[in-house]
């Protein structure tokens, strides 16, 4: 058994935090299940040279046959895209036949597009492309819901809420909330819990 998820986005959107919350939850879930089955948890992070605004993808994997930090090509059960173009960039290589993608609908145009040297694909085109590869796609007004929860910065947690609701994660809501609590600064906890709740409720 293994679960393979990639959180894709742009530097500064909180993809690393989102992936660490998922990994934390996987560790918590195992220590609570007490069935003695060893679950390895890995996060493969790509950051460093990526300045603010660079493409960032964070691979989260857990299961008893997980060793390396990277999801195999065409093997992602889920892509959580904090930015739609980045969801496509990662999805085209990684989404599994029958996998799922949740896309935040707020675009963050690359400099190449801003200067008119490249074109940003339409969000429906992105959705269709991922569906063509065998994925189920949900487009979420993540940023808008985060603003509703209290801050646009909690968009990553809204997206986790929607991803969680998909039923693909092998652990319960309490474990997710505990993982959020452990990873989010205390003064932002209420806003983030509200963001997670809104993400779960959205039926976009």
Partner 1 sequence: MANSKINQRAGSRALLMGNEAIARGAVEAGLQLMAAYPGTPSSEVCEALIEAHGESDYYIEWSTNEKIAFEVAAGAALVGARSMTAMKNAGLNVAMDTFMTLPYGGVKGGMVIVVADDPGAHYSSTEQDTRLLAMYAEIPCFEPMDPQEAKDMTRDAFEMSEALELPVFIRSVSRISHASGDVTFGPRAEKRNRIGFNKHYKLPYRWNVYGAPGAVSKHEWLHSVAPKAREAANASTYNKLELARGAKVGIISSGIASSYAKEAMRRLGLSVSFLKLGMIHPLPDQLVGKLLSEIATLIVIEEGDPVVESMVRGFAQENAFQVKIYGKSYDAVFPPTGEINADKATEAIAKAMEIKLEPDNREAARARIRAIVAPRSSTLCAGCSHLGTYWALKKALKKNSGVHIVNGDIGCYEQGGYGLFASKINVSDEESKRHSIRSAYEILDTLYVMGSGIGIAQGQAQVGYSDGKVVAVAGDSTFIHATLPAVVNAVYSQADITFLVLDNRWTAMTGHQVNPNTGVDTLGKKRERFNIAVVAKSLGVKSVRVVDAYNLEEAQEAIAEALEFEGPSIVVLEGECMLQVLRRTKKGRAATRVDEQACTGCELCLQLGCPAVMFDKVKKKAKIDEINCVDCNLCVQVCPHEAIAKRRG
**Chain residues in the site for partner 1 (CB under 8 A):** 10, 20, 23-24, 27, 31, 39-55, 65-70, 72-74, 85-86, 88-89, 92-93, 97, 109-121, 125, 129, 132-134
Distance (Å, whole) CA 96 – CA 98: 6
Nearer to partner 1, 132 or 203 (CB): 132
Nearer to partner 1, 86 or 194 (CB): 86
Residue 31 has a CB neighbour count (10 Å cut-off) of: 9
Nearer to partner 1, 20 or 165 (CB): 20
Residues sharing a CB contact under 8 Å with residue 137, sequence separation 6 or more, in sequence order: 100, 101, 102, 103, 127, 130, 131
- Partner residues linked to 138 by β-bridges: 102
The least distance separating partner 1 from the CB of residue 137, rounded to whole angstroms, comes to: 13
**Contact by Cβ (8 Å): 96, 75:** yes
Nearer to partner 1, 85 or 102 (CB): 85
The least distance separating partner 1 from the CB of residue 143, rounded to whole angstroms, comes to: 11
């Amino acid at each position: 058994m293994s679960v393979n998820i990639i959180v894709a986005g742009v530097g500064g959107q909180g993809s690393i935090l989102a992936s660490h919350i998922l990994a934390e939850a996987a560790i918590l879930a195992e220590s609570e299940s007490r069935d003695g089955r060893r679950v390895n948890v890995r996060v493969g992070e790509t950051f460093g040279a990526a300045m603010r605004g660079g493409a960032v993808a964070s691979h989260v994997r857990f299961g008893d046959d997980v060793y390396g930090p990277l999801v195999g090509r065409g093997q992602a059960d889920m892509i959580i895209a904090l930015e739609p173009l980045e969801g496509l960039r990662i999805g085209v290589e990684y989404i599994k036949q029958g996998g799922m993608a949740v896309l935040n609908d707020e675009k963050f145009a690359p400099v190449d597009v801003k200067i008119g040297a490249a074109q940003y694909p339409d969000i429906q085109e992105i959705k269709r492309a991922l569906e063509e590869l065998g994925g189920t796609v949900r487009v979420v007004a993540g940023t808008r819901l985060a603003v509703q929860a209290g801050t646009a910065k909690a968009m990553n947690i809204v997206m986790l809420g929607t991803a969680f609701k998909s039923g693909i994660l092998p652990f319960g809501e309490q474990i997710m909330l505990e993982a959020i609590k452990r990873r989010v600064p205390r003064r932002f906890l209420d806003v983030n819990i509200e963001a997670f709740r809104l993400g779960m409720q959205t039926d976009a």
